[in-house]
């Protein structure tokens, strides 16, 4: 590579790493794996080392990648929260040891290391005055972070008061355990919310919520791994400081291995690598730190990284195995996922016998066939994946795989909509998705069955008291009373709520059925147009597509939904249970908001957003979730945010709650 090519490559790598660092650190939504990002950084670092004349201050090799998020107060770190230099082989570790040992020998200091797990989370500092937790902050760019004190107070393992009245600042890693991450994603899938890509980004996103009540809902934990500043007590070694932190109440990193030399450090790294599958939390490497704090001072730091510590990243391990079969699993949203059944093979410390193949496009892209010899990769704690097919090992016995057109669980039709990669079962009574179907049916925006929430539905299913939506209306007071000690009042309230739901307007039932692309607004339009459930069920595609706000995709989804035998059976059972099938809402005769579009933002005193929306729609208006030039009014309550700024910039009329009341009086 000549100088010109090197310069062009360095500029390209700087742009790529800056983009992906923004996705990772600031947006908590990475597009590439940690390993792919590490390889880009390694190439950039090596090129800059070879061509130092092209080093620039804006390169991520010279600074930490994060920024302060808007909405948080800035915190200047008294002691910088630096990042670590990553290495990927033991040769680089030996070079680190030689440099460090030379300085230790020159100063007559015995060199020891402490090897710890590199926890895959979000780095924070915690500041204590007289033993009281007074402030916590993210790393940010290493010099300036975000004040997230209130969010950190929601984490149970962060002590509000230490066992000794000292002034100290410590550094730790906030994370979500493997079990906590799995449970959180399972709940999000049930609720139809997008899944988190990994535990690290889930933890980072949780900590950077502007509302600490939202943070408190997430299963966050923390391990402390360093003393940043201590005004009350002085330490001579790192391990001494960690043991002291445990003594005064901190949750310290449980994996901390003292090593007398490089060989012991390498053994510790290998042991962590072998055991990482058994850890309850995710890691993305091992950290090797100089134990003696005086030696740390002598070694010093660069602008970005300390010279007394280094991070060893475990290389992704690849193994060959046989793709024995491909089976389809139906998720709780109805998405059908192809799963590879593999000849068991040990990869990165765990035995892999199956892994997801994501979707139909992934199988085609990899050109996978049942019986193929495939390469499996598992980097650190990442889910194993099929990397490639070894086509040279095909012998003619391999066979193609085709996604099903009928659900493998319930036999209903499977569809793939334009622009989507997933194939979905549209059977409303499919056992694989029944939990989510019932949860949505009972939700406030749908049939509004008060008290029939997540845990109650889960218990009803576990006790086999219900197996589909219509079973809700067959439940008795005794069924509910058996769930709680002295549960008569609890049971009566639920039965009353179920009976009350039978009288709901038609739009609530339409919304409750969970038809793809039909939400509350769409359900109201359909109810108003068709008046009865029978009319809607018998509507043709040509009729549906002419209804306001019902495009071709939505019309197709409605038609396909009502053509399913499961849907017809369910509607008949709901009719027999006495659930209303007719449009009840009276026409107001007042269309003062006809042709107008409202956007709501902030907190209103007298109305919920749903109530305000219903009033607007009652008078012939529409509501939207985003501000544009077509917006007629922005109804702004307390703490109006970015929507207010956008409305002002576009010249949209902004009205207060009092203005709104004057308009509807």
pLDDT tens string 140-174: 888 898 899 999 999 999 999 999 999 999 999 99
Handedness of CA 524, 525, 526, 530 (dihedral sign): positive
Q: Looking at the structure, do residues 361 and 255 belong to the same domain, yes or no?
A: no
- Beta strand extents in 291-384 (DSSP E only): 309-312, 317-330, 335-347, 350-356, 373-378
Q: Which two tokens stand for residue 201?
A: 């980004």
Comparing C-alpha atoms, which of 450, 449, 440, 580 is closest to residue 505?
Answer: 580
**What does residue 7 show for φ and ψ, rounded to 5 degrees?**
-65, -45
Q: Which two tokens stand for residue 271?
A: 């042991």
pTM (2 d.p.): 0.58
Q: Residue 526 contacts by C-beta under 8 Å, 6 or more apart in sequence?
A: 507, 510, 518, 536, 547, 550, 558
Q: Residue 396 contacts by C-beta under 8 Å, 6 or more apart in sequence?
A: none
SS3 580: coil
Instruction: Read off the pLDDT of residues 388-447 as tens digits, 9 standing for 90 and up.
Output: 999 999 999 999 999 999 999 999 999 988 778 889 998 988 888 898 899 999 998 899
Provide the annotated active-site residues. Answer: 118
Q: Looking at the structure, do residues 450 and 521 belong to the same domain, yes or no?
A: yes
**What does residue 299 show for φ and ψ, rounded to 5 degrees?**
-65, -40
Of 312, 327, 362, the position where a domain reaches its end is: 312
Residue 361 resides in a domain:
yes
Residue 401 resides in a domain:
no
Q: Which two tokens stand for residue 631?
A: 């917006």
Residue 202 resides in a domain:
yes
Q: To the nearest whole percent, how much of the chain has pLDDT over 70?
A: 93
Q: Looking at the structure, do residues 634 and 548 belong to the same domain, yes or no?
A: no
The count of structural domains within the chain is 5
Measured CA to CA, the distance from residue 609 to residue 342 in angstroms comes to 51
Instruction: Read off the pLDDT of residues 461-506 as tens digits, 9 standing for 90 and up.
Output: 989 999 999 999 999 998 888 887 777 888 999 999 999 999 999 9
Q: Looking at the structure, do residues 608 and 508 belong to the same domain, yes or no?
A: no
Residue 609 resides in a domain:
yes
Q: Looking at the structure, do residues 287 and 344 belong to the same domain, yes or no?
A: no
Measured CA to CA, the distance from residue 488 to residue 478 in angstroms comes to 8
Q: Looking at the structure, do residues 20 and 90 belong to the same domain, yes or no?
A: no
* CATH number for the domain that contains residue 626: 3.40.50.10190
Q: Looking at the structure, do residues 443 and 347 belong to the same domain, yes or no?
A: no
What is the average pLDDT across 580-605?
83
| Domain of residue 233, residue span | 74-312
Of 284, 312, 340, the position where a domain reaches its end is: 312
Q: Looking at the structure, do residues 275 and 182 belong to the same domain, yes or no?
A: yes
What is the average pLDDT across 222-233?
93
- Beta partners for 352? 345
* CATH number for the domain that contains residue 90: 3.30.470.30
Half-sphere exposure for 429 (CA within 13 Å, toward CB): 18
- How many Cβ atoms from other residues are within 10 Å of residue 260's Cβ? 12
DSSP 506-558: HHHHHHHTT-TT--HHHHHHHHHHH-BHHHHHT--HHHHTTSTT--HHHHHHH
Place of tokens 């003393």: 227
Q: Looking at the structure, do residues 155 and 40 belong to the same domain, yes or no?
A: no
Residue 582 resides in a domain:
no
What is the average pLDDT across 283-302?
94
Comparing C-alpha atoms, which of 89, 112, 90 is closest to residue 100?
Answer: 112
- Beta partners for 625? none
65 pLDDT more than 80: no
Q: Looking at the structure, do residues 604 and 564 belong to the same domain, yes or no?
A: no
What's residue 68's pLDDT? 46
Half-sphere exposure for 228 (CA within 13 Å, toward CB): 24
Residue 412 resides in a domain:
no
Comparing C-alpha atoms, which of 277, 299, 303 is closest to residue 288?
Answer: 299
Instruction: Read off the pLDDT of residues 346-397 as tens digits, 9 standing for 90 and up.
Output: 876 667 889 989 889 999 999 999 999 999 987 544 568 898 999 999 999 9
* CATH number for the domain that contains residue 37: 1.10.287.610
Residue 413 resides in a domain:
no
Q: Looking at the structure, do residues 50 and 153 belong to the same domain, yes or no?
A: no
Q: Looking at the structure, do residues 308 and 322 belong to the same domain, yes or no?
A: no
652 pLDDT more than 70: yes
Measured CA to CA, the distance from residue 221 to residue 56 in angstroms comes to 37
Comparing C-alpha atoms, which of 181, 204, 202 is closest to residue 65?
Answer: 204
Residue 584 resides in a domain:
no
Comparing C-alpha atoms, which of 113, 162, 374, 125 is closest to residue 266?
Answer: 113
Measured CA to CA, the distance from residue 117 to residue 131 in angstroms comes to 27
């Amino acid at each position: 590579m000549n100088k010109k090519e090197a310069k062009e490559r360095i500029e390209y790598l700087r742009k790529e790493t800056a983009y992906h660092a923004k996705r990772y650190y600031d947006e908590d939504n990475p597009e590439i794996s940690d390993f792919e990002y590490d390889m880009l950084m390694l190439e950039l670092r090596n090129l800059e080392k070879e061509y130092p004349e092209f080093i620039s201050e804006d390169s991520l090799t010279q600074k930490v990648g994060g920024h302060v998020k808007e909405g948080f107060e800035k915190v200047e770190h008294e002691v910088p929260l630096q990042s670590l230099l990553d290495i990927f082989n033991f040769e680089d570790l030996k070079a680190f040891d030689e440099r460090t040992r030379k300085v230790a020998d020159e100063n007559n200091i015995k060199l020891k290391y402490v090897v710890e797990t590199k926890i895959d989370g979000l780095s924070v500092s915690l500041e204590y005055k007289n033993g009281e937790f007074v402030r916590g902050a993210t790393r940010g760019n290493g010099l300036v972070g975000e004040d997230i004190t209130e969010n950190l107070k929601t984490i149970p393992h962060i002590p509000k008061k230490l066992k000794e009245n000292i002034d100290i600042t410590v550094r730790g890693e906030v994370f979500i355990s493997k079990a906590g991450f799995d449970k959180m994603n399972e709940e999000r899938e049930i609720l139809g919310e997008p899944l988190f890509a990994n535990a690290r980004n889930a933890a980072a996103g949780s900590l950077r919520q502007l509302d600490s009540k939202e943070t408190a809902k997430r299963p966050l934990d923390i391990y402390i791994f360093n003393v940043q500043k201590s005004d009350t007590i002085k330490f001579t070694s790192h391990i001494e400081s960690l043991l002291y932190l445990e003594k005064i109440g901190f949750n310290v990193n449980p994996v901390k291995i003292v090593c007398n030399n490089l060989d012991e450090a390498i053994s510790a790294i290998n042991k962590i690598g072998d055991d990482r599958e058994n850890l309850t939390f995710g890691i993305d490497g091992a950290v090797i730190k100089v134990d003696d704090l005086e030696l740390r001072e002598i070694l010093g730091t660069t602008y970005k990284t300390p010279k007394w510590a280094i991070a060893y990243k475990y290389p992704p391990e690849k193994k060959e195995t046989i793709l024995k079969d491909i089976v389809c699993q139906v998720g709780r949203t109805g998405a059908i996922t192809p799963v590879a059944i593999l000849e068991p093979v040990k990869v990165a410390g765990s035995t892999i016998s199956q892994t997801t193949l994501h979707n139909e496009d992934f199988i085609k892209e990899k050109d996978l066939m049942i019986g193929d010899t495939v390469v499996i990769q598992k980097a650190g704690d990442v889910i194993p994946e099929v990397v490639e097919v070894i086509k040279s090992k095909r012998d003619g016995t391999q066979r193609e795989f085709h996604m099903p057109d009928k659900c493998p669980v319930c036999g209903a039709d499977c569809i793939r909509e334009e622009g989507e990669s997933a194939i979905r079962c549209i059977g409303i009574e499919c056992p694989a998705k029944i939990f989510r179907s019932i949860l949505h049916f009972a939700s406030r925006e749908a049939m509004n069955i008060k008290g029939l929430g997540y845990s109650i539905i889960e218990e009803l299913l576990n006790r086999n008291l219900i197996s589909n939506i219509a079973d809700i209306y067959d439940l008795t007071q005794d069924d509910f009373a058996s769930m709680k000690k002295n549960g008569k009042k609890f049971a009566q309230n639920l039965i009353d709520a179920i009976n009350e739901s039978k009288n709901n307007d038609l739009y609530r039932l339409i919304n409750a059925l969970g038809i793809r692309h039909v939400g509350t607004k769409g359900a109201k339009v359909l109810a108003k147009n068709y008046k009865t459930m029978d009319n809607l069920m018998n509507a043709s595609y040509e009729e549906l597509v002419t209804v306001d706000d019902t495009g071709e995709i939505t019309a197709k989804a409605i038609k396909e939904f009502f053509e399913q035998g499961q849907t017809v059976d369910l509607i008949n059972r709901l009719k027999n249970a006495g659930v209303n099938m007719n449009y009840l809402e009276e026409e107001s005769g007042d269309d003062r908001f006809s042709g107008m579009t409202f956007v709501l933002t902030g907190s209103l005193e007298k109305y919920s957003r749903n109530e305000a929306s219903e009033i607007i729609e009652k008078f012939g208006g529409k509501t939207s979730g985003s501000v544009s030039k077509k917006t007629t009014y922005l109804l702004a309550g307390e703490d109006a945010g970015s929507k207010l700024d956008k409305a002002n910039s576009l010249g949209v009329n902004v009205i207060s709650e009092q203005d709104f009341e004057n308009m509807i009086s």
